[in-house]
Structures are given as C-alpha cells and as structure tokens.
A and B are shown apart, each in its own frame.
Chain A
C-alpha cells in the first residue's frame, strides 16, 4: 500500500506536486493518469526516495523507502527506461543490482527470461531500442520479487505485443495481491488495464475513483434516438438543460434526458421510436472533461471526442 499525505514538491518557483493525498491499495491495478508535466513522474520519484518532498510525506507499507530494511524486495520500480549505464550489459546491470540484496543469480536469469531479454542480455544497454530498455526496466523492477510494483509509463515504446504483455503482467501481479501503481498519459491504455484511477493535473488530484465510476460519472449521459418524425420529437423534448442534435435524417442525439423520459414523451404523443440507445462517454472524453482546465500545454487545435457506445471499449 502506498500512501501520500500532503505530498508537495516545488522546483524553484514551479510547483510540480501540490499537496496531494492518495492511497494505492494492494490487490488491484491503480492507474495514475495525467497530461505531460502533471506531476506523475515527480510523485513516483518521491515514492522511491529519489526526490525529497518539499513538504508532506509518502510511505510504502507504512514507512518511507529509506526506512525499509530491504527496499528492492519491498518495492520495484521502473521510473525511466534509461536508468542504466549505457556501457554495461543488461545481465551485468541486473547482477549488480541483485548483489545489493544478495539476490541469487538464478533470479537474475529468471527475470531476463520473463521479460524476453535472453537474446540481448549480454549486449550493451546503449544499443537497446526503447522497447528493450522498458523490458530491462521491468526486469529490474521485478528482481526482488517485490510486494509493490511502480511502473512509470511502461508501455512507452513497446510494440503491440509488448503492450499486451505489460497489460497482462500488471493484472497478474495485482491478482497475486501486490500493489501495482502504473502511470500513463494514454487514456485508452488505462481503460483496459487499470481497476482504479487516480487522475492528476497540474500537481493536483482531480479524480480518485474506480475506473467505471470515472467513465460514467463525468461526461453527461447521452441517448441516441431513431424516429421517423425527428422534427416532432425535437419539439416534444425541447426544454432547459436539454439539447437535441440531428445526426442523420432520422437520427437524434439527446443530452439531458434519460431513455425512459424520452420513451415516455414519445409514447404519450404517438411518435414511433425505432432505436433508443444510451451512449456512454469514453474514458478519453471523461478525461478531457476532467483535465480541460488542468493541462499545462494546451494545443491550439482541439478535436472533438468521439462518443462510444455503452458496453463498447
């Protein structure tokens, strides 16, 4: 379990993390989602004791990392795929890391096999692709068979097969009762990987909830309606806080009413409806909604989010 209490990090006149409170529970995958520069990596470095908090504290299983008797056996982290000396081989890197905790060579070979690095393990890390670097970082994180696993943007640079592998790996680790904390700026990846989501923007926690709640809770519910009398139905549904958009000749999208209210209005006025589909906002949409005021680098051109049917994704 990871607990942050009033965790703050200030660099010069820039506040990277502004007094955040959150708890990462064991036994589930907790996603840490936020735009670039939101404070995800800074927070993770503070968990690992690499950056000192300006104020507040963060603990793993009740104590800061400096208080752990065998840190590598408690917490494994991939913070940066390039946290390796480029002139050393992957095997020697892991061997040196393992030596600090008397982790046997057998375990070094295990994590190399596990991460699919066997063929390149004796090569210098400097020649590794970003994907191989990520695999080595994950191998190092798992070296001590830790109870808590922290992965900063683990799917960056991985091929599709590697992305699926990481997804399955983190789910498996969580199913074993471990604490898994995973950051990403990719909403789509989080939607299929995480059980619980902590959303951060400009150093503040914007949302901390089960992923399903974030998808349904934000983004207003919309309903797709097909009818052969679209003009009449539009008139019937009109009201404050309700918007009706015409998508096709006989297809409307209604916001502000639930399907039952639409069906009732249609039934009472003898308007035939031949489709009534609740639309769920995608995580992407929910995320955009959550972070629209918090992103540090606004793009000038914003593209509209595409709604996804409920049950989809």
Chain B
C-alpha cells in the first residue's frame, strides 16, 4: 500500500506553487479573524454531546421546578397571610407570589450552566485540545473571547427559553388555584431577563474558573463553593463582618436586582449590578491575563 499512498499522498492543491512562496511568513489565505474563531468555537460547542446534555438538563430542571413551584405556590397561597416570612417574599414581588414561579429553578440552572462554563474551558486542557486550539490561534485571546461569547450567549438563550417554557407550563396549574400569572407583565419580563443575564454571568464566572484552574472537578467545586457553600458558611460564622460580606456574594445580587421594592438587608439595585459585574469582570480579566502568559 505504501507505494500507492505516496502518489496520492499530500498536497492535492498547490503542490507546484508551494516552493515559490516567499519565505517571510506570509500566508496564502484567510487567517483566524474573530468571526472565524467564533464560528469554530460554535462548531466545537455543538459537536460535544456533553454540552447538549447540559443544555437539555437546564430545560428539564427549569420546567420541572416551575411546575412543582406552581403547585406548591397554589397550596401555599391560602396559608400565606399568616406566615410573616412568606409575607416578606410576597412584598418583594409586589404582593404577587405567582410571578416568581417560572424562575424558581434558577438556583439549579446556574449550577448546571456554571458547570458548562467551567467544562467548556477546562476540558480543553484536560483533553489536550488546547494545544490544537492555540496552535491555530497563537494570539490566544481571540479564542478565549470567542468561547466567552459562546458560553454567555448559550446560557442566556437557554435560560430565557426554559423560563418562558416553565411559564407556559405553570399558568394552567396556577389557574387551578385561582392564581393569575401574566407572562407579559413587566415584572415577569424583568424576572426573565435579569435571571437570564444572571445565569449567563455565572457561566462566564465558571469559564474564568475553568481557565484559571484548568481542571474540571476543581473548577466545578470552586463554583459550588462560591455559590452554595459560601452563603451558608457566611451565615453560620458569627460577627457583623460576615453578615455584611454575605450581601456581596454574587449569588445574593439577584434578589435586589429583581425586587419590586427594596428588601431590607440587601444591596441597592445599582450596588448589586456593580457587584455582579465585578464578580464577572475581575475573574475574566485574571483568566485572560494568565491564559496569555502561561504555557499551554
């Protein structure tokens, strides 16, 4: 077979003019512009079954929790008047309990899509794919930015879509209990948009962690630590410092951002926006700088 392979072997095109090319590093064809790198990252994203499974899981979790919450809210609505804690939550949504039903699975969506952010980058390093990626894009940052766009866009779209779907499923259930849910109301739209932005932000933080830690388990554990363990730990540690610090955790910025009226002991809306923004920008900047500097 060897002798036949040689003839059919390399360079089907351009064998002749190859040698004539000047030796100054000039290339004969398009290079890795940002739209092309973005296209490549989208191909890489959609050709991984694990990514599609994570997106699918998000839809299932959001719709499932939406339906469950609709049922629970219906049951709860009767007793709500006597319960002070429920009353506070009531107040936070302008007295409308049903409006928060479609986004009740957000805590889990953020974990799934945050992990997606971690995995999309950490798997590059654990599998060795990074060597191929950054050999094709030696400047590295365009590939990082393209991946970020893929992570943020996919997380935002899937959260928004599954919130809407959860809404459609919840409306008839709530209706059974005589509770109205208007998916077109300004508060419904606000919850959908802010939560989707929030989840996209968590996914971006996840990607930053995946880039910094380069290890899937380590990255996901850090994410869980930040969003699930830290809020509880901060609550258990005595002292005013931790009570105050707890407000600045990224997971505690959603409530002030979506509340109709300011809830006591939470940040102001503008503060919450800045804090969440800082939680996204700082790790991403660190990740980008280190990605550029470190060996692949």
Contact = CB atoms under 8 A, between A and B. Distances in A.
Contacts of B136: 71-72, 97, 100-101
B138 A161 contact: no
Given A69-B26, A100-B136, A52 B31 contact: no
A67 B139 CA distance: 8
Interface string B118-129: 000001100111
Nearest to A75: B135
B11 A84 contact: no
B127 A84 contact: yes
Nearest to B46: A92
Contacts of B30: 70, 101-102
B79 interface: no
Contact of B32 (A70, A145, A165, A176): A70
B290 to A, nearest CB: 12
Contact of B27 (A59, A74, A86, A110): A74
Contacts of B11: 142, 145, 173, 176
Residue in A52, A101, A140 whose Cβ sees the most chain B Cβ within 10 Å: A101
Contacts of B21: 147
Nearest to B24: A62
A99 B13 CA distance: 18
Residue in B40, B44, B132 whose Cβ sees the most chain A Cβ within 10 Å: B132
B138 A66 contact: yes
B46 to A, nearest CB: 9
Given A71-B138, A101-B36, A172-B6, A79 B26 contact: no
Given A70-B27, A88-B48, A172-B6, A110 B12 contact: yes
Contact of A169 (B9, B24, B294): B9
A246 interface: no
- Size band of the interface chain A makes with B: 35 or more
B48 to A, nearest CB: 6
A68 B12 CA distance: 24
Interface in B5-45: 5-6, 8-15, 18-19, 21, 23-32, 36-37, 39-41, 43-44
B129 A71 contact: no
A287 B39 CA distance: 47
Nearest to A168: B6
Nearest to A162: B2
26 contacts: A49-B134, A51-B295, A52-B293, A59-B25, A62-B23, A68-B25, A69-B31, A70-B29, A75-B135, A79-B135, A80-B131, A84-B128, A89-B47, A92-B43, A97-B132, A97-B136, A101-B30, A102-B29, A103-B29, A116-B5, A142-B11, A144-B29, A145-B14, A147-B18, A168-B3, A177-B18
Interface of B: 1-3, 5-6, 8-15, 18-19, 21, 23-32, 36-37, 39-41, 43-44, 47-50, 123-124, 127-132, 134-139, 293-296
Pairs A-B, 3 closest by C-beta atoms: A177-B19, A70-B31, A70-B27
